[in-house]
Amino acid sequence: MKTADPRIDAFIAKAQPFARPILSHLRDVIHRACPDVEEAIKWSRPAFVNEGRILGVFGAFKAHASLTLWKMGEATGREEEGMGQFGRLTSLADLPGDDELIRIIQTTASARAEAKPQPKKPPRPELPVPEELATALAASPGAQATWDGFAPSHRREYSEWVGEAKRAETRAARAAQSVEWIAEGKQRNWKYQA
């Protein structure tokens, strides 16, 4: 086994007493099935990464544990049921035998390694800056500098907000408010950010 991640040790130690042997056993079997697998924490749960790709995660809850393998249903023909493909695990007896579990994990790892990565979506095009906003930004060099440093998504939010106003008075008021917030370095929806 590669170096054990102490965060997973802590996760298992904090789990309910019934879940500890299940999680320890799953961890051991996963390492026996894929000796090169690396441990990590993903989505606040112990995860197992094989060749840079997540192979699976396990979790512990009040009354059950779970094991979720990457697209296991597609790779092995097993149907998903409940939380994870093995359902609610309340004891070691709920798991298939070690040989079967190792076969399933290795089949999943092979399918995961052969899977092509999802192509990334192209970035959304920049929106044209409404005339009222462009004029107001030009009159405020500090706001213009902040605007130029904003991510395209932040510029898009301001452009949409000003541009969607139907009346000229509303567009002018929104442009003035936008420049004030931009000069302060605030994103469009700054009120709702934590």
Q: pLDDT (tens digit, 9 = 90+) per residue, 86-101?
A: 888 999 999 999 999 9
CA-CA distance, 102 to 81, in Å (whole number)? 19
Q: What is the reported pLDDT for 121?
A: 86
82 — alpha (psi -120 to 50), left (phi > 0) or beta? Answer: left
Angle at 32 between CA 93 and CA 42, to 5 degrees: 85
Query: What is the predicted pLDDT for the residue at 93?
Result: 92
Amino acid 40: pLDDT: 93
Contact 177, 144 (CB under 8 A): no
Contacts of 46 (CB under 8 A, 6+ apart): 5, 7, 8, 11, 12, 23, 27, 39, 40, 57, 58, 59
DSSP bridge partners of 49: 38, 54
Is 57 in contact with 68 (CB distance < 8 Å)?
yes
Q: Which pLDDT belongs to residue 39?
A: 93
Q: What is residue 2's predicted lDDT score, i.e. its pLDDT?
A: 67
In this structure, the number of other CB atoms found within 10 A of the CB of residue 69 comes to 26
Dihedral of alpha carbons 20, 21, 25, 28, sign:
positive
Please state the rounded mean pLDDT for residues 145-161: 94
CA distance 127 to 155: 8
Model confidence pLDDT, tens digit, residues 56-88 = 999 999 999 999 988 765 444 444 444 677 888
Decide if pLDDT at 115 tops 80. Answer: no
Give, for 114, the enclosing helix (H) or strand (E). Answer: helix 98-114
Q: What is the pTM of this model?
A: 0.58
Provide, rounded to the nearest whole percent, the portion of the chain with pLDDT above 70.
92
State the pLDDT at residue 182.
95
pLDDT digits (tens, 9 = 90+) for 155-194: 999 999 999 999 999 999 999 999 999 999 999 988 887 6
